[in-house]
Amino acid sequence: MILPPVDPQIETQRPPEKPPLRDDTHFAASKIAVFQYVTVIIFFFLISGFWKLQVQSPELYDERAQANSIKSVPVLAPRGRILDRDGRVIVDNYSSFSLILARETLKEEHLRAIAQGLDLEYDDLIKTVRRFRAQPKYVPIVIKQELSPADVAFVDSHRDFFPELVLIQAQRRLYPQNGMLAHALGYTGQVSEAELDSPEFAKYEPGAVVGKFGIERQYNDWLTGADGQRQVVVDNRGQVRKKLSEKPYVPGKDLQLTIDLDLQAVAELAMDAPVNELHVKNKNGAVVAYDPRTGDMLAMVSRPTFDPNKFTGGIKARDWKELNENLDHPLMNKAIQAQQPPGSTFKPITALAGLESGSIDDLFQVHCSGGVALYGKYQRCWEKRGHGTLALHRGMTQSCDVYFYTIGARTGIDNLSFYGDLVGFGQSTGIDLPHENIGLMPSAKWKMRTQRQKWYAGETPSVAIGQGALTVTPVQLARAIGGLAVGGTWRQPHLVKKDNFDGKVVHWALNPDNVKDIVDGMFGVVNEGGTGGRARLPNIPVCGKTGTAQLTSEDYAKLHGKGKDLENAWFVGFAPCNAPEIVVVALYERFPGHGQYAAPIVRDIMKAYFDKKIRLTMFKQEQEKLSAMASLGLPTRTAASSPQPATPSPQ
Amino acid sequence: MKHLSFRDIDWPLLLITLVICVVGVVQIYSATIDTNFHGSWWKQIIYLFGGLILMWVIMGIDYHTLLHWVFPLYFAAVFGLLVTYVVGEAAFGSRRWIPLGSGMRFQVSEFVKVVVVLLVARYLNDLKTEDLEIGEGLKLAGLVLVPTVLVLKQPDLGTSLTYVAVLVTGAFIAGLRWKYVLVIAAVTVLVLPVSVHFLKDYQKARLVSFLDPERDPQGTGYQLIQSEIAVGSGGMFGKGVTKGTQTQLQFLPVPHKDFIFSAFAEEHGFVGVVLLLSLYFVMIMRIVQNAQTAPDRAGMYICMGIAGLILFHVLVNVGMVAGMMPVTGIPLPFMSAGGSSVWSSFLALGLVNNVRLRRFVN
pLDDT tens digits along A40-64: 999 999 999 999 989 988 888 888 8
Whether B171 and chain A come into contact, CB under 8 Å, resolves to: no
How do residues B210-267 score in pLDDT, each as one tens digit? 666 555 555 557 788 888 888 988 889 988 888 888 888 778 878 888 899 999 999 9
pLDDT at B92: 60
Domains of chain A: 70-256 (3.90.1310.10), 261-612 (3.40.710.10)
pLDDT at A641: 46
Phi first, then psi, for residue B88 (nearest 5°) are: -55, 150
pLDDT at A355: 93
Total of domains in chain B: 1
**Does B34 fall in a domain?**
yes
d(CA B124, CA B136): 9
Bigger pLDDT: A228 or B51? B51
- pLDDT value at A585 more than 70: yes
Q: What is the DSSP letter of A280?
A: B
Judged by CB atoms closer than 8 Å, whether chains meet at A66 and B294 is answered as no
Bigger pLDDT: A374 or A479? A479
Cα of A58 vs its chain's centroid, Å: 53
Q: Look at A17-21, A461-465, A608-612 and tell me which has the smallest mean pLDDT.
A: A17-21
Across-strand partners of A572?
A: A545, A585
Helix axes B297-321, B260-292, angle to 10 degrees: 160
- B341 band by pLDDT with thresholds 50, 70 and 90: very high
Chain A: residues touching B (Cβ < 8 Å) = 21-22, 24-25, 27-29, 31-32, 34-36, 38-40, 42-43, 45-47, 49-55, 57-58, 60-62, 64-66, 68-69, 105, 107, 233-237, 241
Distance (Å) from the C-alpha of residue B74 to the closest C-alpha of chain A? 25
Judged by CB atoms closer than 8 Å, whether chains meet at A68 and B229 is answered as yes
C-alpha closest to that of A220 among A187, A249, A192: A187
Nearest CB neighbour to A65, from listed B233, B270, B288: B233
Helix (H, G, I), strand (E, B) or coil at A166: strand
Distance (Å) from the C-alpha of residue B122 to the closest C-alpha of chain A? 15
How do residues A389-448 score in pLDDT, each as one tens digit? 999 999 999 999 999 999 999 999 999 999 999 999 999 999 999 999 999 999 999 999
Counting residues of chain A whose pLDDT is more than 90, the rounded percentage is 43
- pLDDT value at B73 more than 80: yes
- Residues of B within 8 A of A31 (CB-CB) are 172-173, 175
Helix (H, G, I), strand (E, B) or coil at A371: strand
Nearest CB neighbour to A61, from listed B228, B248, B277: B228
Non-local (6+) Cβ contacts of B62 within 8 A are B2, B354, B358
- pLDDT value at A643 more than 50: no
- The string over B311-343, giving b where at least 16 C-beta atoms fall within 10 Å of a residue's C-beta and e elsewhere, is bbbbbbbbbbbbbbbbbbbbbbbbbbbbbbbbb
**Does B323 fall in a domain?**
yes
Mean pLDDT of chain B: 85
Non-local (6+) Cβ contacts of B156 within 8 A are B94, B96, B109, B329
Tell me the residue range of the domain where B201 lies. 6-357
- A559 band by pLDDT with thresholds 50, 70 and 90: low
pLDDT at B58: 92
Judged by CB atoms closer than 8 Å, whether chains meet at A25 and B288 is answered as no
**Does B258 fall in a domain?**
yes
d(CA B287, CA B302): 10
Nearest CB neighbour to B246, from listed A53, A54, A68: A68
C-alpha separations of A273 from A280, A281, A285 in Å: 9, 7, 13
- pLDDT value at A131 more than 50: yes
**Does B108 fall in a domain?**
yes
Angle, vertex CA A244, rays to CA A242 and CA A249, nearest 5: 110
Non-local (6+) Cβ contacts of A125 within 8 A are A111, A114, A115, A143
pLDDT at A317: 79
- A248 band by pLDDT with thresholds 50, 70 and 90: confident
C-alpha separations of B178 from A41, A159, B140 in Å: 19, 56, 18
pLDDT at A97: 84
- pLDDT value at B313 more than 90: yes
- Given the cut 0.90, state whether the ipTM is greater than it: yes
How do residues A278-325 score in pLDDT, each as one tens digit? 888 888 899 999 999 999 999 999 999 999 988 876 777 788 888 888
**Does B111 fall in a domain?**
yes
- pLDDT value at A2 more than 80: no
For an interface test with A, the pick among B245, B293, B315 (most A C-beta atoms closer than 10 Å) comes out as B245
pLDDT at A646: 46
pTM of the model: 0.66
d(CA B153, CA B95): 9
Bigger pLDDT: B298 or A166? B298
pLDDT at B137: 86
**Does B1 fall in a domain?**
no
**Does B362 fall in a domain?**
no
Highest mean pLDDT among A126-135, B188-197, B204-213: A126-135
pLDDT at A6: 52
pLDDT at A593: 84
Judged by CB atoms closer than 8 Å, whether chains meet at A42 and B311 is answered as yes
Non-local (6+) Cβ contacts of A172 within 8 A are A93, A94, A95, A96, A145, A146, A312, A313
pLDDT at B212: 60
DSSP E strand boundaries for B257-348: none
Kindly write down the DSSP assignment for every residue of A34-85, as one continuous string. Answer: HHHHHHHHHHHHHHHHHIIIIIISHHHHHHHHHHHHEEEEEEPPPPPPEE-T
Region B309-317: mean pLDDT is 94
Helix (H, G, I), strand (E, B) or coil at B319: helix
